[in-house]
Chains A and B, each alone.
Chain A
């Protein structure tokens, strides 16, 4: 990967994540403004989760990158859950659980799609 391809790769990852999470969010029962919040929350966290571990990988190494990725994934779930708890109108499921479900879905679905295609 060339460094100047990074924004394109990030953009692609963000779009795919948003699409998958929107689909799952609709299945769960989120509607209207809540779906906009789902999009915005991913714009908020996804680029950071992608770029900072990459930066750490280049500067320090793979082990540090994996640790950073683990921490940032957890932080992403928690921060998204926090935003959902503050602003989601949908109250049937705990907002942190929603965050966890959406994040897990986007990761697992992406992996599954990859395997089916290839």
Chain B
């Protein structure tokens, strides 16, 4: 019994590590390529610092590989090793674009110098067009499963495909107000160099753009600042509310929207004050507190949230979560859904196919189970 328990325990520990090791990553449409280096192609490993290290494995001339991701210089083979583009040649160089796999067109701002290619991967040939930072183009994002990092681009009639990974281009945005929750650097979009600091409490009103899903950044353009900011420092300002604190001990006021910042003041039990709710992707329900003397942040995630009640005009109280459940993740989901929402037919077809596949799997489950029961009517042991 102990042995079995140990075995089950080790599986319970083992399985999550396998699964979580296979975290999602930016993807491309896989393509096949042949090793065209007559001396063979060295395989590389990618290290934690994004540098490539040669292994002692070599693929032979003529071998076919499946490329699952690539950058300008290296291509990833089947989610494992890497190989240089110069050692391989793509087998099918003519990309056939299926309209249903690309979203509706919208304008985007080029943030970094971009090479345009004939297909949605670095293995495809260059078209000859290079887009400069600051150029406005029309793009259609790939909407097939896997989170494609490539977009179809149209610049004054010249078309092709561009790599949107690493904040190369804006991918939908809104004009709105965001508040800086914690001090953060702002970087130049094209060079990546730090160009300034945004301090906690600063209100930014202007264009807030998403960039790719993996950079965890926004590109912001206000009248005072322009650049790349990490997502987790900006919050959406919610509505103004009246808050009452009824806890037994003093409530902390922090210097910024982070529990690691300094406590700069205390609020006594029984205090009622007006504020706005601020929400971002990691900290929801932060309140900004200003009584004329102490200006800072109340963080319900850190302190006694059950005693912080929002009170309405009719004096009925609402639970904190009812309010902070709104707008929890800001506008990112609205923006990234923008392309999908504007193509109901494509979304409908995609969803239908997916649902059919799941139903098919359920049907297989039932059929297989019934078959097992039928063929095993008579039992004899050995």
Interface residues of A (CB under 8 A from B): 1-4, 6-7, 10, 31, 33, 36-37, 40-41, 43-45, 47-48, 50-52, 54-55, 57-58, 62, 65-66, 69-70, 73-74, 77, 83, 86-87, 89-91, 94, 96-97, 100, 104, 107, 114-115, 118
Contacts and interface: CB of A to CB of B under 8 A. Distances in A.
Nearest to B359: A51
A11 B376 CA distance: 25
Contacts of B354: 3, 6, 54-55, 58
B4 A94 contact: yes
B15 A74 contact: yes
A4 B353 contact: yes
Given A66-B19, A87-B379, A118-B77, A37 B357 contact: no
6 contacts: A2-B145, A37-B372, A48-B362, A69-B19, A89-B379, A100-B8
A3 B376 contact: no
A115 B45 CA distance: 12
A9 B20 CA distance: 21
A3 B350 CA distance: 7
Interface in B353-379: 353-355, 357-358, 360-362, 364-365, 367-369, 371-373, 375-376, 379
A118 B78 contact: yes
A70 B358 CA distance: 18
Contacts of A40: 368, 371-372, 375
Nearest to B378: A33
B24 interface: yes
Interface string B276-310: 00000000000000000000000000000000000
Contacts, number: 117
For the complex of A and B, list the 3 residue pairs with the smallest distance between their C-beta atoms, beginning with the closest: A47-B361, A44-B368, A87-B376
B129 interface: no
Contact of A41 (B16, B144, B372): B372
Which among A45, A47, A65, A115 has the greatest number of chain B C-beta atoms within 10 A? A47
Interface in B6-55: 7-8, 11-12, 15-16, 18-20, 23-24, 29-30, 43
Is chain A's interface secondary structure helix, strand, loop, or mixed overall?
helix
Contact of A97 (B7, B20, B77): B7
A89 B19 contact: no
Contact of B364 (A31, A43, A90, A118): A43
Contacts of A118: 43, 57, 65, 77-78, 80-81
Given A7-B357, A97-B7, A66 B364 contact: no
A65 B145 CA distance: 14
B81 A37 contact: no
A69 B19 CA distance: 7
Contacts of B65: 118
B39 to A, nearest CB: 19
B57 to A, nearest CB: 8
